[in-house]
Structure 1
Amino acid sequence: MNMDVSTIARRVRDQAVALPELFGRFDFDRAPERWAAEAADVTELGRVRGVDRADYLGDDDLVARIREYTMLGDRSGDAYAALMPKLGFQRTVAMLIEACDKGIDAVAEAPPELAALIAEMEVVPDWLDMKLVEAGAAYERNATANLAPFLIRGAFIATFLNKYSALPMALTGTLGHATAARRVKETATFFATTALPHALERFGPGFKAAAMVRLMHSMVRVNVLSRPGMWDVETYGMPIPQLDQMPAGLIPIYFLSQEVLAKGRTSFNREEQGRVELARYRCYLLGLPEDLLADTPQEIVRIWRTRSATLRYEYDDRICGGLLRATMEAELSKNESPKGRLTRRLERSASRVFFVKAFLNGDEERAASVGVPVGKRDHLIYGATMLGVAGRMAAYRAASRLPGVRRLADRDLIRRIERQLAGYGHAEFRSDASQYRPATA
Structure 2
Amino acid sequence: MTREALDTLWAKVESQRAHVPALYGRVDFRTLPERFAGSPGDATLLTGKYAAERDRLLADPDRIEFMRAYTMMGDGVADAYAALMREYGFRHLVDMLTRACDDGVENVPDAPPELVDFIRAMERIPDWLDMRLVEEGARIDRNAAANLSPFVIRGAFIATFMNKYAALPMAITNTLSSETAGKRVKETATFFSTSVLPGALERFGPGFKSAAMVRLMHSMVRANVLRRPADWDWSIYGFPIPQVDQMPAGLISIFLLSYKMQEEGREQFTPAERAQVELARYRCFLLGLPEELLADTPQGIVDLMNARSGTLRAGYDDATCGELLRATMAADLRADGSRRARIHDRFERAFAKLFFVKNFMAGDKAKAATIGVYLTAWDTMLAALAGIFIYARLRLYGVAERIPWLRDLADRRLVAKIKAQLASYGHAEFTTDAARYRSSPTSLAAA
1:225 — aligned with what? 226
What code does the residue aligned with 1:124 have? I
Contact 2:164 2:316 in 1 (8 A): yes
Instruction: Name the structure 2 match of 1:185.
Output: 186
1:46-84 CA distance string (max 9 Å, x none): 355552421111122221111000001111001000111
Please list, as runs of the form range in 1=range in 2, the aligned pairs for 1:239-388 lying within 5 A after superposition: 239-388=240-389
Q: Is the 8 A contact 1:137 1:197 kept in 2?
A: yes
Give the whole-Å Cα distance in 2 for the aligned partners of 1:61 and 1:387: 46
RMSD over aligned Cα atoms: 1.4
Q: What are the residue-to-residue correspondences of 1:19-418 with 2, within 5 Å?
A: 19-48=20-49, 51-418=52-419
Could you say what secondary structure the match of 2:405 adopts? coil
CA deviation profile, 1:185-224 (whole Å, cap 9, x unmatched): 0000000000101100111000000000000000000011
Separation (CA, whole Å) in 2 of partners of 1:273 and 1:359: 28
**Alignment partners' CA distance in 2, 1:304 and 1:356:** 22
Question: Residue type matched to 2:293 in 1?
Answer: L
- Cα deviation for residue 245 of structure 1 reads 0.6
Of 42-51 and 363-372, more deviation after overlay is shown by 42-51
How far apart in 2 are the matches of 1:210 and 1:267? 29
SS of equivalent to 1:203? coil
Q: Is the Cα contact below 8 Å between 2:50 and 2:306 reproduced in 1?
A: no
Q: Deviations over 1:19-49 (max 9, x none)?
A: 2231122111111110110112111113555
By how many angstroms is 1:358 displaced? 2.3
Tell me, yes or no, if the aligned pair for 1:230 and 1:437 is still in contact at 8 Å. Answer: no
Please say if residues 57 and 306 of structure 1, whose CA atoms lie closer than 8 Å, have aligned partners that are also in contact.
Answer: no
Q: State the shift of 1:230 in Å.
A: 2.7
AA of the residue aligned to 2:368: A
CA distance in 1, matches of 2:408, 2:176: 43
Contact 2:139 2:411 in 1 (8 A): yes
For the 8 Å contact 2:22–2:83, the answer to whether it is kept is: no
Distance 2:216 2:50 in 1: 36
Q: How many residues align?
A: 441
Question: Could you tell me how far 1:260 is from its partner in structure 2?
Answer: 1.2
Deviations 1:325-357 (A, max 9, x none): 000001011422221110000000001111222
Give the aligned residue type for 1:273.
R
Which deviates further from its counterpart, 377-386 or 191-200? 377-386
User: Percent identity among equivalent residues?
Assistant: 54
The amino acid that maps onto 2:311 is T
Q: Deviations over 1:156-181 (max 9, x none)?
A: 00110010100000000000011000
Unmatched runs of 5 consecutive residues or more in structure 1: none
User: In 2, are the aligned partners of 1:37 and 1:310 still within 8 Å (CA)?
Assistant: yes
* Contact preservation (8 Å) 1:46, 1:53: no
Secondary structure of 1:268's aligned partner: coil
Amino acid at match of 2:232: W
- The one-letter code matched in structure 2 to 1:246 is M
SS in 2 for 1:53: helix
Shift of 1:267: 1.5
Partners of 1:193 and 1:372 lie apart in 2 by 30
Native 8 Å contact 1:260 1:297 kept in 2: yes
Does the Cα contact within 8 Å between 1:95 and 1:107 map onto a contact in 2?
Answer: yes
Shift of 1:380: 1.2
Alpha-carbon shift at residue 136 of structure 1 (Å): 0.7
Equivalent residue letter for 1:38: S
Q: CA 1:295–1:286 in 2, change beyond 3 Å: closer, same or farther?
A: same
Asked whether 1:16 is paired with 2:17, we answer: yes
